[in-house]
């Protein structure tokens, strides 16, 4: 099985790992301020924002992919603006895959960080304010270290979720070898051609990788739980 996979299956795997890594970086950069705001705000409209963030959990991936395809396409608002700036399209490109993955995996990153910020409470931040720490200093020196467990969980879960994406990436990125052909799409291709040996080899690698990531998350959470006072 390993020989079958090694014969030509590394490209989709490498592309998938690259996509997951870039997606997690983008999600942490975008999701951290959003999670902080959701955890701190008392605005009544917060419920609507939380519902919007959680939409990818309940919507079919094809629905999300369809609207992203329209939005990122040459006639879409984002796709047209991007083409004017870079003279390139977003659909059927790696950049388009990143945007689609960020949208699809957003709740898996925002929610753990938001829960971690909420668990910090207001007392440590108020104590820091009494000591004349500014808002940015309170966030970086107090809130983030105390919420570190949430950040680790969010990063790992966002990475793992991106590994298994299919419907969204297929509709936005298509199936271009070396450019948008991630491992889930490669598995589907080989199943369609009845090449079950190749599909099994790829699927086994993906299962093993996903299982290892989940074991890492549960192990870290259990260790932190034991170390907590």
**Contact yes or no for 108/158 (Cβ under 8 A):** yes
Q: Which of 47-51, 145-149, 182-186, 219-223 has the highest mean pLDDT?
A: 47-51
Residue 106's contacts (CB-CB under 8 Å, 6 or more residues apart) are 27, 30, 31, 53, 56
Examine the pLDDT at 23 and tell me if it is beyond 70.
Answer: yes
- Residue 93, phi-psi category: left (phi > 0), alpha (psi -120 to 50), beta (remainder): beta
CATH number at residue 173: 1.10.3720.10
In a domain, 186, yes or no: yes
Question: Quick one: average pLDDT of 161-189?
Answer: 87
CA dist 17 and 93 (Å) reads 16
Sequence-distant (≥ 6) Cβ neighbours of residue 211 within 8 angstroms: none
**What does the pLDDT look like over 75-116, one tens digit per residue?**
888 888 888 888 788 888 899 999 999 999 999 999 999 999
Domain limits for position 52:
2-57+101-227
- Residue 121 falls inside a structural domain: yes
pTM: 0.86
Q: Cβ neighbours of residue 142 under 8 Å, at least 6 residues apart?
A: 120, 124, 125, 128, 133
* pLDDT greater than 80 at residue 45: yes
Map residue 50 onto helix, strand or coil.
Answer: helix
The pLDDT value given to residue 104: 94
Number of domains in the chain: 1
H or E segment and range at residue 211:
helix 196-227
User: What's the chain's average pLDDT?
Assistant: 87
Q: What CA–CA distance (Å, rounded) separates 217 from 210?
A: 11
> Looking at residue 151, what is its pLDDT?
93
Q: Is the pLDDT confidence value at 2 over 70?
A: no
């Amino acid at each position: 099985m390993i020989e079958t996979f090694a014969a030509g299956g590394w490209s989709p795997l490498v592309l998938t790992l690259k996509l997951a890594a870039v997606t997690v970086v983008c999600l942490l950069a975008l999701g951290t301020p959003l999670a902080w705001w959701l955890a701190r705000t008392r605005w009544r409209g917060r419920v609507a924002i939380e519902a919007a963030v959680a939409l990818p959990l309940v919507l079919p991936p094809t629905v999300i992919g369809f609207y992203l395809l329209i939005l990122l396409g040459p006639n879409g608002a984002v796709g047209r603006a991007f083409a004017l700036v870079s003279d390139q399209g977003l659909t059927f490109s790696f950049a388009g895959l990143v945007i689609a993955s960020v949208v699809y995996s957003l709740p898996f990153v925002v929610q753990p960080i938001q829960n971690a910020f909420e668990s910090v409470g207001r007392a440590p931040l108020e104590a820091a304010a009494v000591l004349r720490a500014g808002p940015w200093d309170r966030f970086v020196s107090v809130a983030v270290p105390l919420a570190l467990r949430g950040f680790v969980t969010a990063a790992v879960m966002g990475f793992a979720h991106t590994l298994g994406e299919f419907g969204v990436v297929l509709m936005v990125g298509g199936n271009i070898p070396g450019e948008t052909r991630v491992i889930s799409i490669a598995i589907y291709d080989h199943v369609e051609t009845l090449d079950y040996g190749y599909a099994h080899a790829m699927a086994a690698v993906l299962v093993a990788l996903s299982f290892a990531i989940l074991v890492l998350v549960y192990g870290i959470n259990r260790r932190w739980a034991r170390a907590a006072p």
